[in-house]
Amino acid sequence: MLSEKYAQALYYIAKDKSEKEQEGFFDNFIKLLKRNGHLSLLPKILKNLNEISLKEHKKDKIDFIVSDEKFKDKYKEKIKDYKKYLNLKQEVQTKVDDAIVGGFIIRTKDTIIDGSYRRGLVNLYNKFIK
């Protein structure tokens, strides 16, 4: 659909730009729509742009996984350090998964930091078996 293509182009061109640069892109985009006779697509384009933004935002979340609810506070400083180290600005979503036995896992779209006891126990087991 043409409105989806326009929305995708606009989103990916403007997503990492400053607000002033985005305004310039949008002004030029409106001129492009007028020139091509597609100005009537603007409401659909804006709707699609919002959907794309929501979908992309979900991908950028940070999952912080602990084995027990009581460990959430114990690792708060580590999360802050990793966010700073990885230059992450997203909010952290904390989850509990008792399968990791202890420790923590930090998972983003691009990175997994596994500080779980389960990983260490599996590695130790593999050393003895091999």
The number of distinct structural domains making up the chain is 2
One domain for residues 52 and 16: yes
One domain for residues 48 and 67: no
Q: What is the pLDDT along the chain (130 residues), one digit of tens a residue?
A: 888 988 888 888 887 777 778 788 888 888 989 999 998 988 898 898 888 877 776 556 788 888 888 887 887 787 788 778 777 777 788 888 888 888 888 888 777 888 888 888 888 888 888 6
> Does the predicted TM-score (pTM) go above 0.85?
no
pLDDT at residue 59, as a whole number: 59
Last residue of a domain, one of 59, 83, 105: 59
Instruction: Lay out the sheet containing 103-107: strands in order across.
Output: 92-96, 62-66, 103-107, 112-116
One domain for residues 69 and 53: no
pLDDT at residue 37, as a whole number: 93
Q: Range of 77's domain? A: 62-129
